[in-house]
Structure 1
Amino acid sequence: MTAGIVGYGAYVPRLRMSRQAIYDANAWFAPGLKSKAKDSRSLANWDEDATTMAVAAARDSLPVTHGAPSLKAVIFASTTFTFADRLNAGVIAAALNLDEKTDAIDIGSSRRAGLSALRQALSSSRGGEAPILVTAADLRRTRAASASEMEFGDAAATLLVGTQDVIAEPLGFGTVTVDFVDHFRQSGEEIDYVWEERWIRDEGLSKIAPRAAAAALADAGLSGADVDHFIFASSSKGMAAQVARGIGVPAEAVTEDLMGQIGDTGVGHGLLLLAGVLEVAKPGAVILSLEFGNGAEAIVWRTTDRIKTFKPRRGLADWLSRGVPETSYTRLLAYRGQLELEKGMRGELDKKTALTTLYRHRTTIMGLVAGRCRETGSVHFPPSRLSYDPRGAALDTQEPYFLADRRAHILSWSAEALSYHLSPPQHYGQIDFEGGGRILLEFTDVSPGDVETGTPMEAVFRVKDRDLNRGFTRYFWKATPVRGDHGGTH
């Protein structure tokens, strides 16, 4: 059986940073940015990073099972991994409650790492085995008053690769590996150094990328005229249309790049556009995915009749519709750690993480797994050996009870500005889960007036806090209001 795409998901943060606001704050220094001061770019919340966004996109692609999903492997592509020496894909596997026999792999060091990861999954997938989850995300820092600050955005995408119920099968591949350095970031640095735009466009994008696309079409036995959807993510305006003309792809096949809505989201952008195309593609559609980075890579796909049957929990279109405008430029800087705010004495708490405790309670902390007493039905969080409720006490009767995908609502809540919080006022409260379970959780992606007692909530995997003294990011689950018609939890 031929391996192909069997599912997809996406995630775009809620905030949409106004490019005009960025320009207004920097016009005194960089008036040349005026031409870029249009539309918006997505902005990750302070408690998001590449890992949390990848988890959100992965959950969007998986059915609600109230248990551990069955996956062969998790492959995480990024150029901005949170940890240089900790398996980031392993964090994702823990958040998804995957079996500890599941493979976890990080792939990076190139803008085309997303498509490379997808190709690796296709070659590794075997008939009768569980799917492989490929997820890609970036959260990049930029210098203030730079073109990159205007162009970059934050998002994630996931593709599931398997052999059962394939919705898009690969027809051909093309790879060109060239040490063409359009940008780079040395180890230990946080911000890319970018070369001259015209040279990148004329010598790199327009000459190297078409070679990979042409090779993939030839491998598939097709011509550009056969392509129904052409995906080429590039912040160079009009480049996708130019490459399409060069390889004979019809102009109407060029996919909207979303640069005006969310910006260039890095490694995950090509897969994000592919997830968006799969939402609307008809059976038998030919899709050409092309990515550029130290050469170029391309894959030709054809959708199957199964394309009609798969639906993500939300999907790219729904994530895009949830955006809210943001006009505070200092918020962008603060969220990226580029503006040091006064924390006050309440913000001086040492946030050292006990790694022994994290390991011993990893399922509870990373997967939001409670314990349900098989005798009384009561749900306990955190789980323990002792179950107690008015009906009596019992020992060693608790079984794993997965809370992350269950509907919930606010029992009681508070919003206060006394303690240090990067997005004041800090909202938190008691959350009751359907079927049992009550937890005091911090709220995220909320503004004053967004919540009240009884508000439907859902759990999201986020950064709990950052230990700046030791350089460790701690993750946990938070609650956010269910928005739109697609709550995503059951």
Structure 2
Amino acid sequence: MDLGILAFGGYLPQSRLQRTEIAKMHGWYNPGLKGLAKGERAIANWDEDAITMAVEAARDCLKGQDRSSISAVFMASTSFPFEDRQNAGVVAEALNLKSQLMTLDLAASQRAGSSGLSVALQAANGSGAPILFTASEQRQTKAASPQEMTYGDGAAAVLVGKGNVVARFVGSHTEAADFVDHFRGSGHDYDYAWEERWLRDEGYLKIVPEAINAVLEKTGVAAGDINTFCFPAAMKRVAGMLAKKTGLNETAVADNLQATCGETGAAHPVVMLVHALETAKPGDKILVTGFGQGCDALIFETTDAIKTLAPRTAISGHLARRRADSNYARFLTVNGLVTMEEGIRAEVDKQTGLSTHYRNRDMAQRMIGGCCKECGTLQFPKSNVCVNPNCGAIGTQEDHAFADKKARLNSFTSDRLTYSPDPPAHYGMIQFEDGGRLMADFTDIDPDQDLQVGMAMKLMFRVKDHDKNRGFRRYFWKATPDNDYQGTAPAEAAE
């Protein structure tokens, strides 16, 4: 059986900050920013982070897949929410995967995404069972910095293993070199970057060709046979220079997505790979590289199975699911770059009782409710008594997953008295199509879009609140409009 990619998925936040707004604000201080003031960058909402984005990319990846067969979850990032807690473990919980699996975090380099993918492929080849690999990034940037312009937030996921792969793994090569073009020291929030010319001339143009030439020689693939070359760097024209230097066709150079989402750090090699797979034809060869203290180079060849993979949103779908954002002050606020007066309603101790958190993890992180085995009534949360007034059976509740269920909006409130990091606070009642209701917080509400009773909703894994005193983030599921859903509205909502 072939080893390779069995499925893929992606996620980009809905909000896209217009780079012209950054240049307007800081052009007086750093005129050089005006040269970067084109296009837009994906920015995470206040309740998003590397974990929540990884979960959404993984959910997209696992559409139509057997989750019970997954043997491990690997996650790569340089912006993990937790330095000492298994971030991949939170992702596995949110996906409602079995507990008999390995979870592993990979970090400390922009090459964590490509190196992690290599590790996942090697492990899957040895175990024979599929491994879910995710890469996600939400890096902080200083105001008026070039990084604020070029960085973006996002995630991608691939399921790797043996079987009916959509892309066969051809081979890989790594060149390790402690070349430091930028770094982020322990206890520091922002990257410290050296000049771009140094990175281009001594880094990209000397180290990357070594890795590319080596993997081509190792696999016996001719440079001219590469159909897509994924080079995850924001710098213009460098990918074309590398293609010329290594004999790759100029037409093979893939869009680096700088104009539409920005460079998503350790996740970007996988983001570009997923984007390439969306339009690849059987037999296409894709070369993906990752740079950071060396260079990884991996080659994949797509198969006929790519034509029958279940539809997914991937990267293109999330590029289309966008909302232009010109509110730079909001971006500064939700990223903690300015200190706002939050008011006395925000002065609440948000300590999480870790024992209670653990006991309720199935409900809070896995979104597990109940189904009465006597009458089939669904309910959330699960309880000892069936909520059906015609049943009322005791002790008949079986676990039932709600995270991927479609829903409709029954009622809603937009509240400016309740504290929210991004006011107003939107919340209300949603009703699942198969039964069950949930009073939920809402997220990603477009200020120009009116909420309407009966509109389609879906659940997304998000940060519920952030205990800044202790550094703990509590996660839960929130509802958001589902513009792609065309199901039947529940009777109560329709009325």
Please say whether Structure 1 and Structure 2 have the same fold, judged by a TM-score greater than 0.5.
yes
4+ aligned runs moved over 4 Å, structure 1? 126-129
CA–CA distance in 1 between the matches of 2:392 and 2:70? 37
Q: Which residue of 2 aligns with 1:467?
A: 467
Residue equivalent to 1:359: 358
Bigger drift between 446-455 and 79-88 goes to 446-455
Q: What residue in structure 2 maps to residue 124 of structure 1?
A: 123
Instruction: Return the alpha-carbon distance in structure 2 between the equivalents of residues 399 and 237 of structure 1.
Output: 55
In the alignment, which residue of structure 2 is the partner of 1:271?
Answer: 270
Alignment of 1:123-142 (within 5 A): 123-126=122-125, 129-142=128-141
Question: Cα offset for 1:323?
Answer: 1.0
Q: Which amino acid aligns with 1:362?
A: R
Q: Contact (CA 8 Å) 2:64, 2:310: kept in 1 or not?
A: no
Task: Report what 2:110 is aligned to.
Answer: 111
Change (3 A) 1:486 1:322: farther
Partner of 2:243: 244
Whether 1:344 and 2:364 are equivalent positions in the alignment is no
Counterpart residue number, 2:480: 480
One-letter amino acid of the structure 1 residue matched with residue 287 of structure 2:
L
Change (3 A) 1:57 1:414: same
AA aligned opposite 1:78: S
1:253 corresponds to 2:252: yes
Matched, 1:10 2:19: no
Structure 2: which amino acid aligns with 1:459? Answer: L
- 2:454 — aligned with what? 454
State the 1:329 CA deviation: 1.0
* CA deviation map 1:344-382 (0-9, x unaligned): 111111111111111011111001110111002122221
Gaps of 5+ in 2: 488-495
Given that residues 174 and 297 in structure 1 are in contact (C-alpha distance below 8 angstroms), is that contact kept between their aligned partners in structure 2?
yes
Tell me, yes or no, if the aligned pair for 2:63 and 2:310 is still in contact at 8 Å. Answer: no
Q: Name the CA distance, whole Å, in 2 between partners of 1:69 and 1:112.
A: 29
Name the residue aligned to 2:88. 89
In terms of mean alpha carbon deviation, does 377-386 or 237-246 score higher? Answer: 377-386
Distance (whole Å) between structure 1 residues aligned to residue 473 and residue 50 of structure 2: 12
Following TM superposition, by how much is the alpha carbon of 1:113 offset from its aligned partner in structure 2, in angstroms?
A: 0.8
Quote the Cα distance in structure 2 between the aligned partners of 1:342 and 1:63.
43
Superposed CA deviations along residues 171-207 of structure 1, whole A, max 9, x for unmatched, are: 1211100000011111111101001110111000110
AA in 1 matched with 2:59 = R
Corresponding residue of 1:330: 329
| Counterpart-to-counterpart distance in 2, 1:49 and 1:376 | 40
Equivalent runs, 1:323-472 vs 2, <5 Å = 323-448=322-447, 449-472=449-472
Pick closer, same or farther for the CA change 1:466–1:306 going to 2, 3 Å.
same
Comparing 120-129 with 239-248, which one deviates more in the overlay? 120-129
Q: Give the letter aligned to residue 24 of structure 1.
A: K
CA distance in 1, matches of 2:312, 2:222: 35
- Give the direction of change, closer, same or farther, for the CA distance of 1:111–1:128 in structure 2 (3 Å limit): closer
Cross-structure match for 1:283? 282
Measured against aligned partners, the alpha-carbon deviations of 1:429-482 in whole angstroms (never above 9, x if no partner) come to 001011111111011000343311111000000011100111101100000001
What is the Cα deviation at residue 122 of structure 1? 1.1
Distance 2:64 2:421 in 1: 32
> C-alpha deviations, 1:43-101, integer Å up to 9, x for none?
11110000000000000011258x95431110000001000000000000000001011
Task: Quote how far apart the aligned CAs of 1:317 are.
Answer: 1.1
Q: Secondary structure at the match of 1:394?
A: coil
Specify the SS of the correspondent of 1:188: coil
Is the 1:62–1:313 contact (alpha carbons within 8 Å) kept by the matching residues of 2? no
Q: Which amino acid aligns with 1:8?
A: F
Letter of the structure 2 residue corresponding to residue 407 of structure 1: K
Name the aligned partner's letter for residue 44 of structure 1: A
The answer on whether the counterparts of 2:76 and 2:107 sit within 8 Å (CA) in structure 1 is yes
Counterpart position of 2:491: none
Pairs within 5 Å for 1:193-212? 193-212=192-211
Distance in 1 (alpha carbons) for counterparts of 2:85 and 2:348: 25
**How far apart are the structure 2 equivalents of 1:68 and 1:247?**
40
Equivalents in 1 of 2:127, 2:155: separation in Å? 28
Contact 2:72 2:132 in 1 (8 A): yes
Q: Which residue number in structure 2 is paired with residue 233 of structure 1?
A: 232
Q: Which amino acid aligns with 1:206?
A: L
Query: Aligned partners of 1:310 and 1:181: how far apart in 2?
Result: 40
Distance in 1 of aligned mates of 2:263 and 2:446 = 26
Partner residue, 2:31: 31
User: CA offset at residue 310 of structure 1?
Assistant: 1.1
Residue 32 of structure 1, CA deviation? 1.8
Paired residues for 1:59-98 under 5 Å? 59-63=59-63, 69-98=68-97
- Distance in 1 (CA, whole Å) between partners of 2:97 and 2:105 is 16
Q: How far does the alpha carbon of each residue in 1:365-405 deviate from its partner, in whole angstroms, 9 at most, with x for none?
A: 00111011100212222112232421232222111111111
Identity %: 45
Q: Do the aligned residues in 2 keep the contact of 1:69 with 1:96 (CA within 8 Å)?
A: no
Structure 1: distance between partners of 2:144 and 2:176: 33
Amino acid at match of 1:159: V
SS in 2 for 1:395: coil
* Alpha-carbon distance in 2 for matches of 1:238, 1:482: 38
Contact 2:142 2:190 in 1 (8 A): yes
| Distance in 1 of aligned mates of 2:283 and 2:362 | 42
Partner secondary structure for residue 316 of structure 1: helix
- Contact (CA 8 Å) 1:173, 1:299: kept in 2 or not? yes
Give unpaired runs (5+ residues) of structure 1: none
User: Which string of whole-angstrom CA distances, capped at 9 and with x for unpartnered residues, describes residues 304-363 of structure 1?
Assistant: 111111134312111101111111111111111111221111111111111111101111
The answer on whether the counterparts of 1:64 and 1:405 sit within 8 Å (CA) in structure 2 is: no
TM norm structure 1: 0.97
Counterpart contact for 1:136–1:268, Cα < 8 Å: yes
CA–CA distance in structure 2, aligned partners of residues 93 and 21 of structure 1 = 38
Separation in structure 2 between the aligned mates of residue 125 and residue 458 of structure 1, nearest angstrom: 32
Distance 1:81 1:416 in 2: 31
Measured on the aligned residues, the alpha-carbon RMSD in Å equals 1.5
Name the SS for the 1:269 alignment partner: helix
Asked if the contact 1:228–1:285 (Cα under 8 Å) also holds between the matched residues in 2, the reply is yes
> d(CA) in 2 for partners of 1:450 and 1:350?
33
The secondary structure found in structure 2 opposite 1:450 is coil
